[in-house]
């Protein structure tokens, strides 16, 4: 390698390292704000199963090509990013950031650049303008990040989005009017539009409603509903991302469920993986190209904030041991390698973290390291990269399992169905079945037309409650309703509201007194397309329907499994639940279920 030039920039911040890290360690965002170009990445699998990453871009007059060396980091403390060039004036470039508490609540930041020239021009650049230009740009960005951490600006860095043409601005105004008129605006669409027109591209490549909701402090369901309506109105496009279960990258995307394959290949991890509605099928959004075009490519493929669930990523040479300072909070973690290989899940209770032992096809844990240190040993004869990641990543994703149980999604995107014959496993869904007690007598008493009107009004009443509790009406069968909920707590709250609100509803029915039978159960099932709509199939559905059949009306029947759910149990702690046990039609063994009687509903003050 040619002679190496280096420069360290020191910055002092008033904020603590953990407040600065999300901005300064977001290498994709930082690179975009610095004016660096997007680049294309080619993933090349090696004979040993590892993957190398090669990139190409153009910067000014230079055609650049390089190999991306996977970034190393410890969350909140430091990162290092190396590139080895095969084209351009630079042969090697390394960037590293270190954040250290300064003892007074602030931070000392050190940003170090090391570079080797590839030719005379590279030597000239490194000896003259390169480092001073970078220092000026990066210091300005560091100051912006500090202001953001101090909450004196909304976004970490400034950006220069393309100006909106007059025709596009008129189109946008018409789109926002349609969203507002729809009832799904919730006062958020103008805020979304303003953000889309000014945000960095890294924010818009995968718009995630749950992240928006957290950032804005808004209700999750209402934020999701607004995004769905924005797609229908032409402000955004939706896409289904099939995430790799190892690196969490969206390795395959599709505009509709029927075009989403049952599995995919991750070149980064060199593995095949299956589709799972509960874990790795995520609904994300992008701006409509008519409003703002997003260029293809990457500002930075790797980086701490590209995979924020990864808390430690460090490389180890063959037969090497390494210890790095790191304090990992209590929680559930997965230890694996960037390269293809095994993994191990652990629950860390705090204090000393177990040593990671990297073997050829597995990762094991050894004795605990010293408190405040992560230790790893590479027991193989090739370079390996250890990853320690939090297993809570899915909480930030709007999974297919969740969004397909929202009424607004069903209303707006009834065409989003699976291919005929296709089916997808769902790990857990809560089903509610309702029916009218004495509907035959109702038809005889008021006639077909009158009874039909009452049934339709009662459907609307149920649908309103179900929607407000984040559920969806899957279908109606005669006088019965089948509804689905992603969260069992939402389902039980909806059931309580139905039975407690039916009296007030009946007061609008000219003397009629409708009584609703209701049953609840949760468990795994499969999603299918039936009668050109998304539907559910399996024993969980059958059990929920049978439990509804055990209802006397005005009460709530719920399975023993659902009643024992910790959150459901807490909701029902002040109610009297009566256990019953009998053989239900279609099931061979006796089923235990709980009855929340109409009297208990009436007397409880919860």
Contact 125, 132 (CB under 8 A): no
Residue 357's closest CA among 181, 349, 346?
346
Identical fold at 5-149 and 410-603?
Answer: no
Contact 421, 393 (CB under 8 A): no
Measured distance CA(484)–CA(80) in Å, rounded: 47
Mean pLDDT per block of 10 residues along the chain (606 residues) reads 87 96 95 91 84 90 93 96 96 96 95 96 94 95 96 89 86 95 96 94 92 94 97 94 81 86 77 82 93 87 87 95 93 90 90 93 89 93 93 76 93 87 86 92 84 91 95 94 95 96 89 91 90 89 95 96 94 93 90 93 76
| Residue recorded with tokens 């539907």 | 535
- Residues facing residue 81 across a β-bridge: 95
Superfamily of domain 410-603: Nucleotide cyclase, GGDEF domain (3.30.70.1230)
- Residues facing residue 205 across a β-bridge: none
Residue 484's pLDDT is 96
Contact 20, 99 (CB under 8 A): yes
Residue 164's pLDDT is 85
Residue 519's pLDDT is 97
Hey, which bits of 369-418 come out as E strands?
A: 373-378, 384-390
CATH of 5-149, one of 3.30.300.30, 3.30.530.20, 3.90.1150.10, 1.10.1060.10: 3.30.530.20
Reduced to 3 states, what is the DSSP secondary structure of residue 33?
helix
Q: Give CA separation, 52 vs 40, 115, 266, in Å.
A: 14, 21, 13
Q: Domain spans of the chain? A: 5-149, 166-292, 310-394, 410-603
Residue 263's pLDDT is 83
Residue 243's pLDDT is 86
- What does pTM read for this prediction? 0.85
Measured distance CA(540)–CA(538) in Å, rounded: 5
Residue 395's pLDDT is 63
| Residue recorded with tokens 């999603």 | 527
Tens of pLDDT, residue by residue over 358-416, are: 998 899 999 887 888 999 999 999 999 999 999 876 567 899 999 999 999 999 998 88
């Amino acid at each position: 390698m040619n002679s190496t030039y280096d420069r360290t920039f020191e910055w002092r911040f008033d904020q603590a390292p953990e407040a600065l890290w999300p901005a300064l360690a977001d290498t994709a965002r930082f690179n975009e704000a610095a004016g660096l170009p997007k680049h294309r990445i080619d993933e090349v699998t090696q004979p040993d199963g590892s993957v190398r990453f090669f990139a190409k871009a153009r910067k000014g007059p230079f055609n650049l090509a390089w190999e991306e060396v996977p970034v190393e980091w410890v969350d909140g403390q430091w990162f290092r990013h190396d590139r080895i060039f095969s084209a351009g004036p630079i042969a090697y470039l390394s960037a590293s950031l270190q954040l250290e508490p300064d003892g007074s609540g602030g931070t000392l930041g050190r940003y170090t650049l090391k570079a080797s020239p590839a030719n005379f021009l590279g030597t000239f650049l490194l000896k003259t303008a390169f480092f001073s230009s970078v220092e000026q740009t990066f210091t300005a960005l560091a100051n912006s990040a500090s202001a953001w951490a101090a909450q004196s600006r909304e976004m970490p860095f400034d950006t220069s989005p393309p100006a909106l043409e007059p025709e596009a601005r008129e189109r946008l105004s018409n789109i926002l009017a349609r969203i507002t008129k729809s009832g799904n605006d919730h006062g958020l669409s103008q805020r979304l539009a303003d953000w889309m027109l000014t945000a960095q591209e890294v924010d818009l490549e995968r718009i995630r409603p749950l992240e928006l909701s957290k950032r804005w402090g808004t209700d999750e369901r209402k934020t999701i509903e607004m995004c769905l309506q924005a797609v229908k109105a032409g402000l955004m496009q939706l896409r289904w991302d099939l995430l790799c279960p190892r690196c969490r990258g969206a390795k395959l995307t599709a505009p509709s469920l029927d075009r989403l394959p049952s599995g995919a290949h991750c070149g980064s991890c060199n593995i095949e993986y299956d589709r799972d509605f509960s874990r790795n099928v995520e609904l994300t959004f992008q701006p409509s190209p008519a409003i703002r075009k997003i260029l293809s490519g990457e500002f930075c493929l790797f980086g701490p904030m590209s995979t924020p669930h990864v808390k430690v990523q460090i490389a180890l040479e063959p037969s090497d041991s390494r210890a790095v300072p790191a304090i990992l909070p209590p929680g559930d973690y997965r230890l694996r390698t960037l390269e293809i290989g095994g993994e191990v899940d652990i629950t860390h209770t705090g204090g000393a973290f177990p040593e990671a032992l990297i073997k050829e096809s597995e990762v094991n844990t050894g004795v605990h390291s010293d408190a405040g240190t992560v230790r790893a040993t590479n027991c193989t004869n090739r370079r390996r990269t250890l990853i320690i990641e939090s297993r809570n990543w899915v909480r930030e994703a709007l999974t297919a399992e969740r969004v397909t149980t929202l009424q607004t999604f069903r209303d707006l995107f009834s065409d989003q169905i699976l291919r005929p014959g296709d089916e997808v496993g769902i790990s857990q869904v809560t089903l509610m079945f309702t029916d009218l007690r004495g509907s035959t007598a109702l038809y005889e008493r008021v006639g077909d037309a009158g009874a039909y009107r009452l049934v339709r009004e009662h459907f609307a009443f149920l649908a309103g409650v179900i929607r407000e509790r984040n559920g969806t009406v899957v279908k109606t069968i005669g006088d019965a309703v089948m509804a689905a909920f992603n969260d069992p707590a939402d389902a039980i709250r909806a059931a309580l509201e139905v039975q407690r609100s039916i009296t007030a509803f009946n007061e609008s029915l000219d003397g009629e007194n409708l009584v609703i039978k209701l049953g609840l159960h949760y468990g795994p099932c499969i999603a299918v397309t039936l009668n050109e709509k998304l539907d559910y199939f399996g024993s969980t559905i059958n059990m929920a329907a049978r439990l509804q059949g055990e209802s006397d009306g005005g009460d709530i029947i719920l399975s023993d499994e659902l009643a024992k759910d910790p959150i459901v149990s807490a909701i029902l702690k002040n109610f009297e639940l009566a256990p019953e046990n009998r053989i239900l039609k279609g099931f061979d063994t006796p089923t235990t279920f709980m009855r929340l009687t109409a009297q208990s509903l009436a007397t409880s003050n919860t």
